[in-house]
Amino acid sequence: MLSSPFVLIFSLLLSLPILFLLAPRILPPRPHSIPISPSDELDDQTLFNRAVAQSHSNNNNNNNNNNPSKFFHLSSKNPSLKIAFLFLTNSDLHFSPSGPSSSTKPPQTSSTSTSTPTPPSPTSPSPPFLNKLIPHAKRTFRASPTLISATRRLLATALLDDPANAYFALLSQHCIPLHSFNYVYHSLFLSPTFDSSAKDDASLPLRLRYRSFLEILHRSPKLWRRYAARGRYAMMPEVPFSSFRVGSQFFTLTRRHALLVVKDRTLWRKFKIPCYRDDECYPEEHYFPTLLSMQDPDGCTKYTLTRVNWTGTVNGHPYTYRPPEVSPELILRLRQSNHSESYLFARKFTPDCLEPLMRIAKSVIFKD
Ligand SMILES: *[C@@H]1O[C@H](CO)[C@@H](O)[C@H](O)[C@H]1NC(C)=O
Ligand SMILES: *[C@@H]1O[C@H](CO)[C@@H](O)[C@H](O)[C@H]1NC(C)=O
């Protein structure tokens, strides 16, 4: 009789440490870390499987036909190679070359669209764009793995869209080009000097030198907290802390790496786990650098081609340029890179920068 309240209190006391241990597991996930629904996951997986299967069958066909030159050799001698520009957006494309138009307007819930330009003609400063909204667009949330899924959907769609897509440049609606399309094309496919970190590779056959432009950093003050954001051991054993990397979410991947990203299931199972804290959860800044540095570190330059200004960062957002700041000097300054001959893109710009940017487009941005 007397013992039962005591037992109750005792077990309550006992359960306290257990509660502490389990607390992070019991707390409901924050609204924007909503786990991805099984049906969305299944949709994605179906799309990724299609992209992988098509790439394999294309490869086989090429081998059977004894026609290796057709699409898959990343080589300057292949004129049909293309760059797929992928826009990860939750709004209109402010700086779309065709200008805002109702036919290219994504629905409010759409997160993704792809634009695949046709090969450049030697005279045009920018390529003819075929704006294509991907049919699989889904809502994305900041600080959640939905941004990884959206990026993978873009890559898979562009892989399927055209076997000639050889580079995949991920951008957002706040990104601007810093050069003409011809310059971009020449830098990625032809220039032996553009990537200054690869100078000593000059003896390799040309196609071995094509690498992904992806930032990969292993030192960052918040790396441990970001790693442990899902729980101390949540990433083990697949991703030990020593393999955990950080880098810019905006990158330019080779076709081989785009395929590798779409094929991955092992790391995705870890990175899709919701975090306990949203201020330490930016899975899209970790998933791609970690995956590629684990699978093919030498195939990556370890830097990005998209300039971003982290001075005076607010709330995890980089500095955002406004119309009065747009000037020829700014463009020249943003191009300066320590790793390559130039940055090719820059962010973030507000939509109303379009007008001042257009004023200097011909005389500065596309003049190179
Ligand atoms: C980066 O942003 C800061 C303001 O936070 C500004 O003073 C600086 O000029 C910017 N740098 C460049 C290269 O635009
Ligand atoms: C290039 O390196 C210098 C010296 O380390 C650094 O001060 C500068 O910010 C770097 N520039 C860019 C664009 O990262």
Concatenated DSSP letters of 212-245: EEEE-BS--TTHHHHHGGG-TTTTTTTS-GGG--
Q: Give the closest residue (by CA) to ligand 2 atom 7.
A: 338
- Measured distance CA(322)–CA(119) in Å, rounded: 32
**pLDDT of 321:** 96
DSSP structural state of residue 71:
T
Is residue 22 domain-resident?
no
Q: Is 205 exposed, middle or buried (0-12, 13-18, 19+ CB in 10 A)?
A: exposed
Question: Which amino acid does the sequence have at 353?
Answer: C
- Whether the per-residue pLDDT at 330 is higher than 60: the answer is yes
Tell how far the Cα of 311 is from the centroid of ligand 1, in angstroms: 6
pLDDT band at 358 (very low <50, low <70, confident <90, very high): very high
DSSP codes, 55-97: HHHHHHHHHHTT-TTTTT---TT-TT-EEEEEEE-SS--TT-T
- 217 in a domain, yes or no? yes
Report pLDDT digits (tens) over 127-173: 445 566 667 778 888 778 999 999 999 999 999 999 999 999 999 98
The CB of 338 under 6 Å from ligand 2? The reply is yes
- Decide which of 324 and 99 is more confident: 324
What is the per-residue pLDDT across 80-112, written as a single tens digit (0 to 9) for each? 789 999 998 877 777 765 443 333 333 223 334
Judge whether residue 360 has pLDDT over 90.
yes
Q: Is 157 helix (H, G, I), strand (E, B) or coil?
A: helix
Q: Which residues line ligand 1 (CB under 6 A)?
A: 309, 311-312, 319, 333
Q: Which two tokens stand for residue 48?
A: 């990724």
Examine residue 176 and state whether it is found in any structural domain, yes or no: yes
DSSP 8-class letter at 321: B
Pairwise CA distance, residues 295 & 260, whole Å: 9
**Number of domain units in the chain:** 1
Minimum-distance ligand to the CA of 338? 2
Q: Is 340 exposed, middle or buried (0-12, 13-18, 19+ CB in 10 A)?
A: buried
* Cα angle value 209/214/215 (rounded, 5°): 125
What does the block give as tokens for 340? 């390559």
**280, 225 contact by CB (below 8 A):** yes
**Domain membership of residue 180 as a residue range:** 38-59+71-365
Indicate if the pLDDT at residue 207 is higher than 70: no
Stretch 114-136: mean pLDDT: 50
Please check the confidence at residue 6 and state whether its pLDDT lies above 80: no
- Percentage of the chain modeled with pLDDT above 70: 71
259 is a domain residue: yes
Q: Is the pLDDT of residue 258 over 50?
A: yes
Distance, in Å, from the CA atom of 260 to the CA atom of 292, rounded to the nearest integer, reads: 8
Closest by CA to 304, choosing from 363, 251, 231, is: 251
Interhelix angle 146-161/287-295, nearest 10 degrees: 60
Give the strand pairing for 165-172 and 82-88.
parallel
Tell the residue number behind the tokens 């747009």, with chain if given: 326
Is 211:292 a contact under the CB 8 Å cutoff? Answer: no
Domain contains 24: no
Among all ligands shown, which has an atom nearest to the Cα of 312?
1
The larger pLDDT score, comparing residue 313 to residue 4, is at: 313
Q: Assess whether pLDDT exceeds 50 at residue 56.
A: yes
Main-chain dihedrals φ then ψ at residue 4, nearest 5 degrees: -70, -40
Q: Whose CA is nearest to atom 2 of ligand 2?
A: 338
CA 368 – CA 361 distance, rounded (Å): 11
Has residue 5 been placed in a domain?
no
* Residue closest to 167 by CA, chosen among 181, 148, 179: 181
CA torsion sign, 357 to 181 to 54 to 239? Answer: negative
What is the pLDDT at residue 131? 61
Report the C-alpha gap between 91 and 269 in whole angstroms. 28
Q: What is the pTM of this model?
A: 0.81
Alpha helices (H) in 2-91, listed in sequence order: 3-26, 38-64
Query: 308: CA distance to ligand 1 center in Å?
Result: 10
Whether residue 97 lies inside any domain: the answer is: yes
Whether residue 46 lies inside any domain: the answer is yes
Residues 6 or more apart whose CB falls under 8 angstroms from that of 185 comprise: 83, 119, 120
Q: What is the mean pLDDT of residues 350-362?
A: 94
Residue to mutate (ligand 1; options 308, 313, 319; most atoms within 8 A of CB): 319
Cα–Cα dist 283/273, whole Å: 9
Whether 157 and 261 have beta carbons less than 8 Å apart is answered as: no
Counting ligands in written order, the one closest to the CA of 337 is: 2
Q: Which two tokens stand for residue 137?
A: 């667009």
